[in-house]
Chain A
């Protein structure tokens, strides 16, 4: 397999970050080694829930407006890659929660929201698989992409009534980050590394979509 420049940079960044996270970042005083899941969990949540889902929303609106097939390819690629990152969040979260909270899952606002976003991604991808016509597939999935994003504040509001156990963000918050310097550097670099990884995977998935559409067109 041939790697693009972006791919090589992304892989190096990911390897570098996690070598640092495992060997050169101190343990948390209370949680011990379990806390190191943070460096996978938090950046995956940023990429899957905010970056990828936001991109699906914006490109979906633009698709319905401009009807440019490129926008649909970006939206579907972003949904597919975002689905993988959200799955990582949903797997690493319970692994971290078990030793620290004592249970794999709680019906907490953030957990519930993440789970339902994952369901919406899944529905989006299954819908795409169930339609053959390119134009119709793009249009229908754009509708889901828009409705899904509008649903987020409502799920958030309705689960707000539950008690929350999940800690608040340490990085993406208005006040200064609350964390020792060594950990903070690792966390910031994990955000950058996974964002690069997302950009690379998105690009590869986009190119695959271009090839697939070309093949379908040549076949018909």
Chain B
């Protein structure tokens, strides 16, 4: 019988499956992230005077703040889950490329973020009374494009901070400045769409998001091997 080493994508998907399975069986982080998202939605509503600020102006900001911080909750888990038993060593000893490990972790984090978004986006639309039906597909596209960028840098930083002393504290500190060029165009584009502007008006923001995704996916894949505890 001939043994063939699986390709990069197949290995990456196997790692993604492993991570999502662990998360699905324990449901520890995803539940807290979802609970956090819903709580934040209610807190934000009372932080502003609803008679002074229309909820349609509030919604895009709330949405992106929630995506950012609930994403951070999940990112630390990504490599943190390997840390207590040094399971990452077994992963590194396996006959898969380093880029497959990075991509596998990235896809799992993307899955995690998408689950949180799939709950918080309709929750914001419902609770803030913003009808998103007319532009739901472009909005989902923007959310996905932005998520890829956030997760690409976030996964790399997660791999780094687990072997430092400050771990959880350091992740937002390092990652948030890198989230700015993603959050900014994404929130602006969301605001335009929610205010009934045509989809063509947000194409500039979409190209920034796309460029960020491509550049940081490539660079972070190349830099990932340097973030390992060798």
Contacts and interface: CB of A to CB of B under 8 A. Distances in A.
Interface in B172-227: 173-174, 176-178, 180-181, 184-185, 188, 204, 208, 211-212, 215-216, 219-220, 223, 226-227
A159 B229 CA distance: 36
Interface string A90-123: 0000000000000000000000000010011011
Contacts of A147: 153, 156, 178, 216, 219-220, 223
A130 B180 contact: no
A145 to B, nearest CB: 11
Contacts of B219: 146-147, 150
Interface residues of B, number: 31
Contact of A157 (B170, B176, B177, B181): B181
A122 to B, nearest CB: 8
Given A146-B219, A147-B223, A154 B208 contact: yes
B1 interface: no
B180 A116 contact: yes
A143 B156 contact: yes
B166 A126 contact: yes
Size bracket, chain A contacts: 20 to 34
B51 interface: no
Contacts of B178: 147, 151
A64 interface: yes
Contacts of A119: 176-177
A187 B207 CA distance: 39
B230 to A, nearest CB: 8
Given A147-B219, A147-B223, A131 B174 contact: no
Contacts of B216: 147, 150
A199 to B, nearest CB: 27
A108 to B, nearest CB: 14
Contact of B173 (A64, A126, A131, A161): A126
Interface string B76-120: 000000000000000000000000000000000000000000000
Contacts of A151: 177-178, 181
Interface of B: 153, 156, 160, 163-166, 170, 173-174, 176-178, 180-181, 184-185, 188, 204, 208, 211-212, 215-216, 219-220, 223, 226-227, 229-230
17 contacts: A119-B177, A130-B164, A130-B166, A132-B165, A139-B226, A140-B160, A147-B178, A147-B219, A147-B223, A150-B219, A151-B177, A154-B208, A154-B215, A157-B181, A157-B211, A158-B180, A161-B185
